[in-house]
Structure 1
């Protein structure tokens, strides 16, 4: 089943309510491929927001074969290096995601992201084997509650158009106001 022009208004509306004069950019933590290794980056997606009924909606493109994943509490992969099967957006509804990119070539402080489920739980995993990532990333779900994820594989298996804000995951300052 394909979803065309998926809008993420439900994520943006709560954040946008505080600032109605200028539309914020949509930043997202990405797991990208740089120099054949997975690397955390903060990306801006150039989607101009639309407004309707007081909510901002950002077009993130089309997705297909969407699914919901429910991971049991404290799910660890023993530091196993992995890659996503395809480029995909992930929305953590609940729980906690811990991501590490130990082979990125960056300082340790830029190789780790903690993503809490909820309004800031939006990620894109683009470090597929097809993209050239030889050394992937580690993902763990250390919460004491189940982690609920919405997975949205991107049609065409290509990362969306974006600008790199900086290496390392987006910080709260990159996300607040989105």
Structure 2
């Protein structure tokens, strides 16, 4: 039993080391600005995910988003029109729900599904965008807004003009998925592991 535990631990450490060298970068849809108007872009943050060794989240993968000044949790009823507005520089995580973001001066649109792929950068401030953007919430949504203290955009590389596509997000699909050979002892009463979310 002790040998099995030691071997299992060694394999876990080896897998973490291999994972750390091949983790994806974080790509997010950004509502930003260009030429005096709001635009949608797909951004990639400069550093890939890293493997956490912190208690409570050990063996997880993380991406640092920067310091934030404050955070606000909002619950929005289904079929709510958020109206046309501007955004102070902030990360917005759609915890649940489905949001449709449109621009007044372009046909671009973004569909943001709450959950693992629900992170968005919003920073089309009124001094840089004439029109702002609109948000419609098709489903009841829970959002967490993380304001940036200095109003600066995070360092990023533009992957494409327009919202991120499925192919831009699939790199995150493997994060959080355990190799079930090493987690047989974590099965629930019915032997299941739960569902793995996939992007829309």
Residue correspondence of structure 1 range 20-59 to structure 2 within 5 A: 20=19, 22-52=22-52, 53-59=58-64
CA displacement at 1:142 relative to structure 2: 1.4
1:173 is the counterpart of 2:160: no
| Distance in structure 2 (CA, Å) of the matches to 1:118 and 1:61 | 20
Q: Report the structure number with the largest CA radius of gyration.
A: 2
Give the match for residue 13 of structure 1.
Answer: none
Q: Show the counterpart of 1:65.
A: 70
Aligned twin of 2:130: 134
1:81 match: 84
For the aligned residues, what is the CA RMSD? Answer: 1.7
Classify the secondary structure of the residue corresponding to 1:159: coil
1:88-147, Cα deviation, whole Å (9 max, x unpaired): 10111111110001314xxx2xx11111111111100011113x111111111111xx20
Q: TM-score, normalised by structure 1?
A: 0.79
| Larger relative helix fraction | 2
Runs of at least 5 residues in structure 2 that lack an aligned partner in the other structure: 1-15, 53-57, 173-200
Tell me, in whole angstroms, the C-alpha distance in 2 between the residues paired with 1:102 and 1:166: 20
Q: Would you identify which runs of 4 or more consecutive aligned residues in structure 1 move more than 6 Å?
A: none
Asked if the contact 1:72–1:147 (Cα under 8 Å) also holds between the matched residues in 2, the reply is yes
Query: Counterpart of 1:99?
Result: 101
1:8-27 counterparts in 2 under 5 A? 20=19, 22-27=22-27
Instruction: Give unmatched runs, 5+ long, in structure 1.
Output: 1-16
DSSP 3-state at the match of 2:126: coil
- Residue in structure 2 matching 1:152, options 146, 149, 153: 146
What is the number of residues matched between the two proteins? 150
How far, CA to CA, are the matches of 2:62 and 2:159 in structure 1? 21
TM-score, normalization by structure 2: 0.71
Cα distance in 2 for residues equivalent to 1:149 and 1:93: 6
Question: Which residue does 2:118 correspond to in 1?
Answer: 121
Shift of 1:62: 0.6
Q: Which structure is higher in RCO with an 8 Å CA cutoff and minimum separation 6?
A: 1
Q: How far off its partner does 1:47 sit? A: 2.7
Equivalent residues of 2:23, 2:50 under 8 A apart: no
